[in-house]
Chain A
Amino acid sequence: MGFTTRQIHAGVTPDPTTGSILTPIYQSTTFVQESVDEYLEKGYSYSRSGNPTVKALETKLADLEGGVDCSCFGTGMGATTATMLAFLDAGKHAIVSDVAYGGTYRLATKVLSRFGIEFTFADTANVDEVAAAVRDNTAMIFTETPANPTMKCSDIAAISEVAKSAGAVHVVDNTLLTPYYQLPLELGADVSVHSTTKYMDGHNATVGGAAISKSEEHGAAIRFIQNSTGSIMSPQVAWLTSQGCKTMSLRMDQQSANALAVAKFLESHPKVEQVCYPGLESFSQHELVTRQASGYGAMAWFEVKGGLAAGKKLMDTVEVWTLAENLGSVESLITHPVTMTHADVEEAERQRVGIIDGLVRLSVGLEDAEDLIGALDKALAGI
């Protein structure tokens, strides 16, 4: 069945007791067992280990992503943490994309490093550099494509080959394109992770995460860490996220169309120094994205002539666009990564990977493209 059908129906069957067309919110800690001998006969014991509402979402996401197992978490960082802990022990080594989300960078450098896990931050846009970073103890390659906020892309299939020959798992953060546009597991990756907060919820209502595995074995490893460390999604969040998923493809198509229109407008504006959007032909990895994904997403960045000062003025004066963290929701957001999302990344590292001081990040929402462009036009005129 097609994606749009599956995003609605996968994981959901009418409640057998009442016929309720939606999965009930099982806001319950524990599940009554029929007898000692029939323990877990109905599948559930305690909501940290599993919950029917969360399971419905997990089944849906595994289906959409083309995986066999999915665990949902309280946040996207919860999903990344559990995935890393599932495959990395003290003494193991991971190669992480040097443009990964700032939170992933912080987790690796400030937290997991304390437990004897080694990290190399590599330019994953360059497959040879990834291959060169492989060591005997490399157990994971973690990429994010396109990366937030630089939009730098990684070749999922090629890096999966590198991982395979190194005996490492390839984890792809697929948040920015969603399974609607990009299927990392089909391209050879082992695990897809998501911040469901973004396009899956889509309405700025919840924070959540998911890790989807291609093999039962990997799924069980992640699930074991989740049950041991307790990083779970609540039934209420799972229910809201399931609702959001039902319109994911519709939102992605419209938000991506808006993003392309905005990017084209900015590209032609005399006060704009540069625009970066994977859907633009001027995007340096346009060919790669077109090959491995069926759409370009709704994230973009640009630099205003006049650098940081001009960019700040634009963000402070622009209407319609909201100055707020998060991305992927129906509301268009404008942010300054250097002072907001990526403030924890050292300046030298930021400069090295292309998070320039004047970079203005756009998460394009579902408003009328004309209104979004009009607001940017007005703000640019005021600079």
Chain B
Amino acid sequence: MSHFYHFDTISLHAGQTVDPEFGARATPIYQTTSYVFPDTDTAASTFNLERGGHVYSRITNPTVGVLEQRIAALEGGSAAVCTASGMAATFCAITAILSQGDHIVASSQMYGGNVSLMKNTLPRFGITTTFFDPTDLDDLKNAIQDNTKLIYGELIGNPGLDILDLDAVVKIANEKQIPFMVDATFNTPYLCRCFDYGVNITIHSVTKWMGGHGAAIGGVVVDGGNFDWGATDKYPTITEPYAPFQGINFWEEFGPSAYATRIRAEAMRDFGATMSPMTAFLLLQGIETLSLRMDKHMSNTNALLEHLSNHKQVSWVSHPSLPTHTSHALAKKYLPKGAGSIVSFGVKGGRDAGKAFIENVQLASHLANVGDAKTLIIHPATTTHSRIDADALVAAGITEDMVRLSVGLEDVEDIKADFENGFRAARKFADS
């Protein structure tokens, strides 16, 4: 086939062959635990991964499979494995290749759940992490140890929105023969296809922009198919025989999708953080409009950035697409369609002003999620980060007046008008 489909077409069609039995246009929801075998020989060979096919929905499911293939195609990867949540994706992605005594080098600007996993949970199993400043790649180089088996970061960092320089990190990772994994939740493959730059693995909380409607929780690990696991002996889980599947060698059997297959054979089977077919169906519906939504997220974000930058009650606005942001040049390079729809800004009048703003907006929903079709807003100093002191807030890049915004798809004039409710209430603190 000489013609490669474009993004919008892939987001509608990849992974789905029209149901052969009835011709159903939408993907059927295979809400079933198990699959009837035509005979015992087929059963045995399916069990042993000698042939494709479904055995039990903890491991594979046809509806979830469509979502996996669609995301892999959108990312340009070799294969994908969907999980019950974004955190499950991170956990499965790491434990597929790291064991006791191994080490991760990870960006310090990451979602708090991932930080906690690496700081508190994985050390209990002998996996340790050194965090590096994503704006200082010498810091990354210095953090790499002999037992470092993974480099991990978010393309658009949380909460400072610093952009990770993919080319530079890929260069370091290639030199050290270490896979580079990116949490691509904030960018989605529409804003940046990380594998195009040589990233080896991406993970997503599909709950966010990919699903886009705040309706279902899910995660995915995508195998870039571009890492040479056999180049060193550092990745025995991929390159050595795996006893539970009759000594199968993933690298020899599955080549570019060896990593994804290992996740399925071990993490899905043994940890069981499986995505439900219904969730996969809902997320597939969301992905069908991914590019349309992302374009609108970006145009609304840009309009609000301009509005907030000119607002007399706003002390500062942070977003990588603003020339004032330290990552502006990297944003232009890696995220030309837009640097995501997360914006933070300061309301004049400090902590009380930020709180008053949040409490008086009505359209924007006050909650701790991002990537919904609806505009979401939170005041980190009094909510997500309320239990840490002022010094620690600064270290985390959070100021007391900071309002974090996940820009939704409403008419931007309505969002602006709603914000005036917040600004009116915050005004009395700005004057004092």
Residues of A within 8 A of B (CB): 14-22, 24-34, 42-44, 52, 235-236, 239
Contact = CB atoms under 8 A, between A and B. Distances in A.
Contacts of B54: 18-20
Contact of B24 (A21, A28, A239): A28
Interface in B16-35: 18-35
B21 A21 contact: no
A14 B33 CA distance: 12
A30 B25 contact: yes
Nearest to B42: A19
Interface residues of B, number: 28
A148 B281 CA distance: 39
Contact of A27 (B23, B28, B36): B28
B37 interface: yes
A32 B21 contact: no
A42 B36 contact: no
A25 B23 CA distance: 13
Given A25-B29, A44-B23, A19 B18 contact: no
A27 B25 CA distance: 9
24 contacts: A14-B35, A16-B20, A16-B21, A17-B21, A18-B30, A19-B37, A19-B38, A20-B32, A20-B35, A20-B62, A21-B35, A22-B33, A24-B29, A25-B31, A26-B22, A26-B29, A27-B26, A27-B29, A28-B26, A32-B25, A43-B22, A44-B22, A44-B23, A52-B22
Contact of A42 (B21, B25, B277): B21
Contacts of B36: 14, 19-21
Given A18-B62, A21-B32, A26-B24, 12 more contacts: A16-B21, A17-B19, A17-B62, A19-B53, A19-B54, A22-B33, A24-B28, A25-B31, A27-B26, A27-B28, A29-B26, A42-B21
A31 B25 CA distance: 5
A216 B30 CA distance: 31
Contacts of A42: 21-23
Contacts of A25: 28-31, 277-278, 281
Contacts of B31: 22, 24-25, 239
Contacts of A52: 21-22, 24
A27 B22 CA distance: 12
A28 B25 contact: yes
Nearest to A44: B22
Contacts of A22: 30-33
A378 B252 CA distance: 70
B363 to A, nearest CB: 31
A32 B18 CA distance: 8
B23 A34 contact: yes
A196 B277 CA distance: 25
B62 A33 contact: no
Contacts of B29: 24-27, 235-236, 239
Contacts of B34: 20-21
A382 to B, nearest CB: 43
Q: Considering the complex of A and B, which 4 residue pairs feature the smallest CB-CB distances, nearest first?
A: A28-B26, A25-B29, A24-B28, A19-B35
Nearest to B63: A24
A33 B33 CA distance: 30
A290 to B, nearest CB: 40
A17 B19 CA distance: 8
B28 A28 contact: yes
Contacts of B63: 24
A22 B277 CA distance: 13
Contacts of B278: 25
Nearest to B65: A18
Nearest to B277: A25
Contacts of B281: 25, 27
A192 B33 CA distance: 33
Nearest to A19: B35
B30 A24 contact: yes
A132 B25 CA distance: 54
Interface hub of A20, A27, A43, A52 (most chain B Cβ within 10 A):
A20
A42 B30 CA distance: 19
A15 B21 contact: yes
Given A28-B28, A239-B31, A17 B20 contact: yes
A45 to B, nearest CB: 9
A297 B21 CA distance: 39
B428 to A, nearest CB: 48
B344 to A, nearest CB: 38
B216 to A, nearest CB: 14
B33 A21 contact: yes
A253 B109 CA distance: 60
Contacts of B38: 19
B242 to A, nearest CB: 25
A328 to B, nearest CB: 23
B339 to A, nearest CB: 35
Contacts of A20: 30, 32, 34-36, 54, 62
Contacts of B33: 21-22
Contacts of A44: 22-24
Contact of B25 (A18, A29, A239): A29
A25 B22 CA distance: 12
Interface hub of A25, A30, A31, A236 (most chain B Cβ within 10 A):
A25
A19 B43 CA distance: 11
A26 B23 contact: no
Contacts of B24: 26, 28, 31-32, 44, 52
A267 B84 CA distance: 52
Contacts of B35: 14, 18-21
Contacts of A26: 19, 22, 24, 26, 28-29
Contact of A33 (B23, B27, B30): B23
A22 B56 CA distance: 12
A24 B65 CA distance: 14
